[in-house]
Amino acid sequence: MAIAKQKRLRNSRITPSLIIGIVVITLIILVGLLGPLFINPKMARVGAVEPNSPPSATILFGSDSQGRDVFTTIIMAIPPTLRIGIITGLISVLLGLILGLMAGFFPGWPDALIRTFSDVLMAVPALAFMILVVARMKRPNLVLVAIIVGFLTWPGTARSIRSLVLSIRERSYTLVARANGETELGVLFREVMPNLLPLMIASFIGAVTMGIYTVMALEVLGLGSNVIPTLGMMIFWSTRFAAVLRGMWWWWSPPIVVLALIFLGLFFLSRGLDRYISPAIPTTWSRRRPRGVSPKSEPATPAEKAPSAVSDGTAVLQVKNLQVIYETPAGIVRAVDDVSFSLQAGERMGVIGESGCGKTTLATALMRLSRPPAYITGGQILLEGRDLLSISEEDLRDLRLKEIALIPQASMNSLNPVMRIGPQVKDGLKAHMGKLSNQELDARVAESLERVGLRPEVANRYPHQLSGGMRQRVAMAIANALAPKVIIADEPTSALDVVIQKQVMLTLKRLQEEEGASVLLIGHDMGLIAQFADRIGVLYAGKLVEAGSVQEVLDNPLHPYTRLLIDSLPTLEGKHDLVGIAGLPPELLHLPSGCAFYPRCPFADEHCKGEAPVLQVPIDHRQVSCHLYPEHTALPPTPAKANILQA
Amino acid sequence: MPPLLEVKNVSKVFRSGVFKRGDVTVAVDDVSFSISDEQAGITAIAGESGSGKTTLALLMIGQLSPDSGEVTYRGSSLRKMTRDQKAELRREVQPIFQDPYAAYNPFYRVDHVLTTPIRNFKLAKSKDEAEKMVSEALEMVGLSTAETLGRFPHQLSGGQCQRIMVARALLCRPRLIMADEPVSMVDASLRASILAGLQALNRKLGISVLYITHDLTTAYQLCENILIMYAGAMVEAGAVEKVIRFPKHPYTQLLVSSIPLPDTHKHWGVVEADESQLQAGRKTTGCRFAPRCPVAMDMCWNTRPPLYGSEDQRAVACFLFRDSPTLPNPDVAQVFRKQGQE
C-alpha cells in the first residue's frame, strides 16, 4: 500500500499544466527552428504573391495588401521573436540571480547598494523609457532593445531571490547541512540553489514574456525594424493597412494567435514546472461538491444510537452524531466522524487528541464556522435544545459570542495589530448591545479586561505592546465579554510558557466558576486537561473513543489507546523507561478498516480489523468504543508480548 | 584531559534597530560549564522561551560567536582553531533541531541528509558499506529503510522525520548530540520513542547528549543533570533528582509548580498567584529574577548572586543560600552527578 501511495504522489508531480506547456512551447520552438527549412524566404518579400488574396490551396494563409505570403512571413517571424524573448530572459535572470545572491549573502553595504539601485530601476517605466531610447536610434536594433529590457527587469528577480536566500539561511536545514560537513559553497550550491530554481524559472519565463511584449509594443507603435519580419511587425503592418476594417482576418489574426500561444504556453509551463520542482506544494483544493453529500444529509447512524448516558436535562450543549468532512483532491476525509457528547451546565470538559485527529475541526464545527473544503455533513449541535445546524445564519450570529464563544488556537495572534485593544473588545459588545452608549460600552470593556486580570489601561494599548500571556487574556476577555453559556477553548495556551500557561488557565477557571459557564477545552496536553477539566473525551482519528471523569479515565483507562497514551507521558514519579505507542498516528485519508487504532493496539484481533466498534457504556458514567466491552468491565493488563496486527 | 566542550564566562548580546542602537537583549549572561568526554551523560538545559538556552547551544557549536568569554573544544579556543579542528568539531558535535520538517530541504528525498555526511566525512569505502551504515543507523532509532528511504520529508510523519535526524547525527559518529527541543513539535504518543532513541545512543554508544527543553518532565525522565536558565543567566544546576524534585531557587520552584501533571491527585492549586507583592516594573542590576521573585531582598536588586554550592550535587544562584560557600570555579559541571554515583 505504501509503495502504491508513493508512486501516486510521485506521478502527481506531472500535471496537465506541465504537459500543455511543454507541448505548446516545444511545437513553437520546433516550428521556429525547422520551419525556415521548408519555406522559400522570397515569398515574404513585398509583391511575392497576388496581394489581398484570402486563404486558398496555393496561398495557404492568404496574402497581405503588399503581396507578402502570410504563412511564410509567420514562419520567418517566429525565430526573431523567440530570440528577443530569450535574450531578455537570460540577461534578466542572470543579473537578478547574481545580484540577489550577493544581497542575500552580504547583508552590509552590498545589500544596501543593490537594493537602492534596484529601487531606482524599478521606478523607471520600461515601455516609456524604451520608446525614448528607440526613437533616438537611427535604425531600430531589436536585439539591443531586448538587452536593455533585460537590464530593466532584473530588480524584480533580484529582490525575490534576496528574500528567499534570507529565509532559506534561517531554516534549520542549512544548519543540518553544515553539521553534515558541507562547506559554505556546498550549502550554496546544494541546499540554497535548488530551492531558488522554481523562482528562477518563473522569473525567466516572466522576463521572456516581458521582452517579447515590450518589443511587440514598440513595433506596434511603429518603432520596429522594417527589415526583419517579427510578429509585432506583422501586427503593425496589418493595423497600418486597416486589415481589420477590410475584413482581412487571415492577415491580422495569425500573429495574434501565435503570440497568444507563446504566452499561454509559457504560463502553463511556468505553473507546471513549479509543481514539478516543489513536490510539497499541494494541488489546488477542489471546491466541487461530491455527489451524494449535501450539507445536511442524514447522519450515518440514526440519532437513537447515540449513547444517552450523560444527556440528562441539564446539558447546555449536546452534540449528536456530528460529522464533518474535508473534500480533498485525493478523496473525502472524515475529520469528525459520528461524535456525540454533552456538556453540562457549569462543567469543564477536555477533549484530547493528537495532531490531525480532528480537534480543531470539531471546535470550528461547534461554532458552525467550518469553511470549505470542510463541510458539516450530519448530526446535531443542540445549544439549550436549539440545533445550531438548522437555524438561520442571522440567528446564529446572534448566538455566537452571546451564548457560545470560541477562543481560537493561537488566539493571541488573532488580534488586529493596527487596532487598540479597547475597540477590539468593544466590537463584539457593539454587535450585541448596540443600544448602549459609548461610555457604557467603555465601562463594559474595562470590566471584561479586569475580569481576566488585566488593568483597564490595557484598552489603550496596541497588541504588540502586550506580552503573549496578556494577549491571550485579551482573547479570553473578548470571548467572555457577553458571559456566554458555553466557551470553546481550542489549545488556548499552546504558545505560552509553562508559568504563564498556568496563570492563564487559572484565570479561565475562575471566570468559568464566577459566570457558571461551561468550557470545552480542546488540546493535546493531557496534563493541562487533567489540571483544568472535570471530564475528558479522547479523540482518535476523528472519533470519540473514550469519555468519563478525568480522574477515572486517568486512574483506570478503558480504551487501550488511552492507557498507552497515559503510560507514554513523562511524570515526576521516579524514573522509568520511556515507552511510546508503536506505529504511527492514522492518516485520516487512509484509515484502516474496522477500528482505526487496531494497527497500533496490543489487544487487537481479527474482529477489530473487520468491524468498527461503537461507543458504549460498559460501566456507569463511562463511555468507550472498543470490542473488549461489554465482555470486560475494565481494561485487562496489556499483553506482555503484544502481537500487533499488520495493516 | 581537557573537556570535549567548555564555555568559560560567555555572554552574548543581541542589539536591534538601525546601527544596532535599539533594544539590547542579553541572551546569554556569563555562563560557564563543560561537557566531559570521558563521562558520557545526558544533561538538560531548561528554561522558558527567551531564557537563552538555544543561544547557548549555538555558541557551543560555533554557529554564533560570544561577545565575551571563550568557548573551547578539546582545549583549544573556537576562535583560534585550525580548519581541521573546525571540521572535527562539526562532526563530533551534532545538532538536532525543533521543527522536524524544517530540518529537511524540501527539494530532496530524506536520503539526502543520510548520504551527505558519509560523503563529506568519507565514512564509507564503498557504496555497499554506505548503505549498510545508513540501515544500521536507521535501525538504531527504530526505523527500517523500507519505510523511510526514497520518500520526501512531507510524506513522513513528524516523529519519523525527527528519528531520521537522530540517525543522521549518529552517522557522523559524534561525541555529543545537541538536541534543541527535539520533541516539542511531535505528538505525545511518539515523543517517548524519540527520547528513548536518544537514551539508547547514550547508553549503548557512550554519546553525550545535551537536551535543551522547556519541558521539565521529559528532562527529569531523560537526564542525569540539569541547568536551569532565566533571562540568559544560570540560576540553578545539579543532579536532576535534586533540582526538579526539590527545587531551591524561587524561579525553579515557580517553574516546577507550574507543570501541568497528568494526575488529578497532584493539583496545581486553585488560587491564582498573588502578584501584588511583586515589583514587576522595577529595573534590576542584580538578580534578573528579582522583579518576579516573591522573596526578593534589597541586595537582590543591585548585586548579582554568585553560584552557591548549597549542598552536594547542586549549585544555586540565589542570596537565600549566601551562607553556603560559592563554587571554587565558575564551571557548574563540577556539581554534576557522575555516572555510578548515588
SS3 assignment for B114-181: HHHHHHHCCCCCCHHHHHHHHHHHHHHCCCCHHHHCCCCHHHCCHHHHHHHHHHHHHHCCCCEEEEEC
Nearest to A173 among B49, B102, B263 (CB): B102
pLDDT tens, A400-454? 888 888 888 776 677 888 888 888 888 888 877 767 788 888 888 888 888 888 8
Q: Which residues, listed in sequence order, are joined to residue B6 by a DSSP beta bridge?
A: B34, B72
In angstroms, rounded to a whole number, what is the distance separating the alpha carbons of residues B58 and A567?
34
CB atoms within 10 A of CB A432: 16
Please answer whether residues A639 and A603 qualify as being in contact, where contact means their C-beta atoms are separated by less than 8 angstroms.
yes
What's the Rg (C-alpha) of chain A?
A: 34
C-alpha triplet A52, A57, A61: angle, nearest 5°? 45
Reported as a pLDDT band with limits 50, 70 and 90, residue A1 is very low
A42 pLDDT exceeds 90? no
Report pLDDT for B20. Answer: 57
Q: Is the pLDDT of residue A69 over 70?
A: yes
Size of interface A-B (CB pairs under 8 A): 203
Q: For residue A295, is it within any domain? A: no
Whole-number percent of chain A with pLDDT over 70: 91
A residues 566-625 closer than 8 Å to B (CB): 566, 568-572, 575-581, 584-585
The cell numbers describing A242, all together, are 486597416
Interface test with B, best of A185, A572, A597, A646 (most B CBs within 10 A): A572
In order of A79, A502, A531, B142, B306, the CA distances from B231 in angstroms are: 66, 20, 28, 37, 15
Q: Measured between alpha carbons, how far is B166 from B140 in angstroms, rounded to an integer?
A: 9
Handedness of CA A602, A605, A606, A609 (dihedral sign): negative
The C-alpha atoms of residue A35 and residue A546 are separated, in whole angstroms, by: 72
Query: Is residue A32 in some structural domain?
Result: yes
- Interhelix angle A193-218/A249-277, nearest 10 degrees: 170
User: Comparing C-alpha atoms, which of A380, A352, A282 is closest to residue A569?
Assistant: A352
Binned at pLDDT 50, 70 and 90, residue A303 comes out as very low
Strand partners, A565: none
Closest CA to B186 of A581, A548, A301, A382: A581
Residue A612 lies in a domain: no
C-alpha grid cell for residue A342?
Answer: 454533552
pLDDT averaged over every residue in chain A: 82
What H or E segment, with its residue span, contains residue B31?
Answer: strand B24-35
Residue B46: predicted pLDDT: 93
Q: Give the long-range contacts of residues A306-311, CB within 8 A, separation 24 or more.
A: A306/A340, A306/A615, A307/A340, A307/A615, A307/A616, A307/A617, A307/A623, A309/A617, A309/A620, A309/A621, A309/A623, A310/A341, A310/A342, A310/A344, A310/A621, A311/A342
- Give percent of chain A with pLDDT exceeding 90: 13
CA distance A280 to chain B (A): 6
Tell me the mean pLDDT in the region A226-236: 82
pLDDT at A647 over 50: no
Per-residue pLDDT of A96-121, as tens digits, reads: 999 998 888 887 888 889 888 888 88
Of B107, B188, B196, the CB nearest to A569: B188
Mutation site, B261, B265, B342, interface A, largest A CB count within 10 A: B261
Nearest chain B residue to A571, by CA: B217
- Contact status, residue A346 vs residue A517, Cβ threshold 8 Å: yes
Whether A613 maps to a domain, the answer reads: no
CATH code of A207's domain = 1.10.3720.10
- The pLDDT of residue A537 is 93
- CA separation for the pair A422, A644 (Å, rounded): 56
Q: Which domain holds residue A134?
A: 26-49+65-277
User: Can you give the pLDDT at residue A349?
Assistant: 93
**B81, three cell numbers:** 582553531
Q: Return the half-sphere exposure (C-beta side, CA atoms, 13 A cut-off) of residue A108.
A: 1
Strand ranges of the sheet holding A535-540, from the earlier edge strand across to the other edge: A404-407, A486-490, A518-523, A348-352, A535-540, A543-549, A623-624
User: Cα(A600)–Cα(A581) distance, rounded to whole angstroms?
Assistant: 7
Out of A41-45, A312-316, A527-531, B151-155, give the one with best mean pLDDT: A527-531
Q: For residue B210, give the C-alpha cell.
A: 545535551
Confidence (pLDDT) at B58: 86
- What ipTM does the predicted assembly reach? 0.85
User: Degrees (nearest 5) of the Cα angle A96, A260, A215?
Assistant: 50
Is A344 inside any structural domain?
no
More confident residue, A20 or B333: A20
> According to the model, what pLDDT value does residue A644 have?
52
Q: Is A105 among the domain residues?
A: yes
Q: Report residues of chain B scoring pLDDT below 70.
A: 16-22, 269-277, 340-342
Q: Give yes or no for a contact between B185 and B158, defined as CB atoms under 8 angstroms apart.
A: yes
Q: Which residues from B are below 8 Å from A2, CB to CB?
A: 147
- Residue A182, chain B, CB below 8 Å: the answer is yes
Count of the separate structural domains present in chain A:
1
Q: Out of B154, B159, B260, whose CB is closest to A528?
A: B260
Q: How confident is the model at residue A9 (pLDDT cuts 50, 70, 90)?
A: very low
DSSP letters along A339-390, please? EEEEEETT-EEEEE--TTSSHHHHHHHHTT---TTEEEEEEEEEETTEETTT
A9 vs A184, more confident: A184
Q: What is the pLDDT of residue A140?
A: 74
User: Is the model's pLDDT at A292 over the cut of 70?
Assistant: no
Over residues A501-518, the pLDDT tens digits come to 888 888 888 888 888 889
Mean pLDDT of A387-411: 84
pLDDT of residue B129: 92
pLDDT digits 0-9 by tens, B168-199: 999 998 999 999 988 888 887 788 888 988 98
Contact A20, A11 (CB under 8 A): no
A502/B contact by beta carbon, under 8 A: yes
Task: Retrieve residue A177's grid coordinates.
Answer: 547541512
* H or E segment to which residue B77 belongs: strand B76-77
What string of DSSP letters covers A168-216? Answer: HHHSHHHHHHHHTT--HHHIIIIIIHHHHHHHHHHHHHHHHHHHHHHHH
Cβ–Cβ under 8 Å, residues B225 and B239: yes
**A340: in domain:** no
Between β-strands A535-540 and B208-213, what pairing exists: parallel, antiparallel or unpaired? unpaired
Per-position DSSP letters for A570-596, written without gaps between them: --SSS-------SS-PPPGGGPPSSST
* Nearest CA distance, B50 vs chain A (angstrom): 10
Question: What is the H or E stretch that residue A52 is in?
Answer: none
Q: Which residues contact A164 (CB under 8 A, 6 or more apart)?
A: A104, A195, A196, A199
Residue of A nearest to B199 (CA): A578
Q: Which residue has the higher pLDDT, A434 or A586?
A: A586
| CB B249, CB B317: distance < 8 Å | yes
**C-alpha dihedral, A186 to A189 to A191 to A194, nearest 10°:** -160
The three cell numbers of residue B167 are 540517525
Give me the half-sphere count of Cα atoms (radius 13 Å) on the Cβ side of residue A347: 21
Phi (first) and psi of residue A390, to 5 degrees: -110, -5
Cα distance between residue A420 and residue A426, in whole Å = 10
pLDDT, mean of residues A185-189? 86
pLDDT for position B17 = 58
B97 neighbourhood in chain A, CB within 8 Å: 172, 175-176
- Smallest CA–CA distance from B118 into chain A, residue: A180
Classify residue A604: in a domain, yes or no: no
